[in-house]
Amino acid sequence: MYGNGLRAEIWQPFVERFRVRIGELYGSTEGTSSLVNISGKVGACGFLPISPLTKTMHPVRLVKVDDYGCILRGPNGLCIACNPGESGAMVSTIRKNNPLLQFEGYLNIAETNQKIIHNVFAPGDSCFVTGDLLHWDRLGYVYFRDRTGDTFRWKGENVSTTEVEAILQPVFGVQDATVYGITVPHREGRAGMAAIVKAVHIDESDDEFVDSVGARLVASLAPYAVPIFLRLCDSVDKTGTYKLVKTHLQKMGYSTSADPTHKLYIYDPRLLKYVPFDDNTQNQLNQGTFAI
């Protein structure tokens, strides 16, 4: 089976249950290059040869980024290439005289410009920025780590939404789950919120379901990474290729009136569990008096 986006958490169980071999690939329609893992290495989305020629001939490279996902540059103004064993943002070479390495861009010129960086490895060159953070291991395999912009800062620590989603998605009864950061008055950074679609066949009440989900989150994550809010939804927005869309949910924040069909819960650190979100709690949050 070949495809993209198979989570590492379910990769091996899927192989053992259905007795198949997985070929994972990474790329985009508009991008200038792709990666592929044809050996079945669990969790890897591709392979990048470890060779001196990689630095000069291969169109795909990883470049170093800071804690916020911004690409770093050295004293010479050029990007800093990653070595095997390091993580970074994936970029791919753009060459107008090579039809395989041309980037045609989007209808929106501003979006096109955001995807191109210049003076990457040599003065005057250009690269397509995929927007993903990948890890390159010492054998040459490449693993998806996070989507640039899907990391938020809370209590002075960076929280990966992908890491939290990886804890939620295998939970029995969770049909869909997406994690994002929202602003809270009088608080620095962004507080985590998880929007969860509960499977219809679950017999547990909403409160019981939230208790079981909360127990897994608390047991599996560092305290700063545990989402402050849980939002139970009937569905979540998706693209045509079934990728979760967080924009609308982020705009809703912790509002309870944005969609009356949703149920909202907040994590109480004193009880180490999620409790229903009510008007009194909302007033305390707005005034900065609720402990989170």
Residue 30 in tokens: 């508009």
For every residue of 180-227, DSSP letters joined together read EEE--TT-SS-EEEEEEEEPTT--S-HHHHHHHHHHHHHHHS-GGGS-
288 has pLDDT over 90:
no
Pick the more confident residue, 155 or 265. 265
Query: What pLDDT score was predicted for residue 287?
Result: 87
Q: At what angle do helices 161-168 and 206-220 cross, to 10 degrees?
A: 130
Pick the more confident residue, 99 or 215. 215
Query: What pLDDT score was predicted for residue 259?
Result: 82
pLDDT digits (tens, 9 = 90+) for 189-230: 889 999 999 998 888 899 999 999 999 999 999 999 999 999
pLDDT digits (tens, 9 = 90+) for 127-156: 999 888 899 999 999 998 877 767 788 887
pLDDT digits (tens, 9 = 90+) for 43-64: 999 999 888 777 677 889 999 9
How far are the Cα atoms of 50, 96, 152, 288 from residue 157, in angstroms, in the given order? 32, 41, 8, 20
Average pLDDT taken over every residue of the chain: 87
Determine what percent of the chain is predicted with pLDDT higher than 70.
Answer: 95
Q: Residue 36: beta bridge partners?
A: 25
How far are the Cα atoms of 2, 54, 81, 142, 152 from residue 139, in angstroms, in the given order? 22, 14, 17, 9, 30
Query: What pLDDT score was predicted for residue 215?
Result: 94
Residue 221 neighbours by CB under 8 Å, 6+ apart: 163, 164, 167
DSSP assignment letter at 169: T
Q: Class for domain 2-147, per CATH?
A: alpha beta
DSSP assignment letter at 73: B
290 has pLDDT over 90:
no
Query: What pLDDT score was predicted for residue 244?
Result: 66
Q: Class for domain 151-287, per CATH?
A: alpha beta
Q: Could you tell me how many residues make up the chain?
A: 292
Query: Which of 4-13, 76-85, 119-128, 234-243 is predicted least confidently?
Result: 234-243
**Among candidates 11, 26, 35, 3, which has minimal Cα distance to 166?**
11
Residue 157 in tokens: 């620590």
Helix ranges restricted to H, the chain: 8-18, 109-114, 161-168, 206-220, 247-252, 279-287
68 has pLDDT over 70:
no
Query: What pLDDT score was predicted for residue 113?
Result: 85
Each domain of the chain, given as residue ranges in start order, spans 2-147, 151-287
Query: What pLDDT score was predicted for residue 111?
Result: 78
pLDDT digits (tens, 9 = 90+) for 100-109: 888 888 888 8
Query: What pLDDT score was predicted for residue 145?
Result: 82
**CATH topology of 2-147 equal to that of 151-287?**
no
Q: What is the mean pLDDT of residues 151-174?
A: 87
Q: What is the mean pLDDT of residues 73-97?
A: 92
Contact by Cβ (8 Å): 73, 79: yes
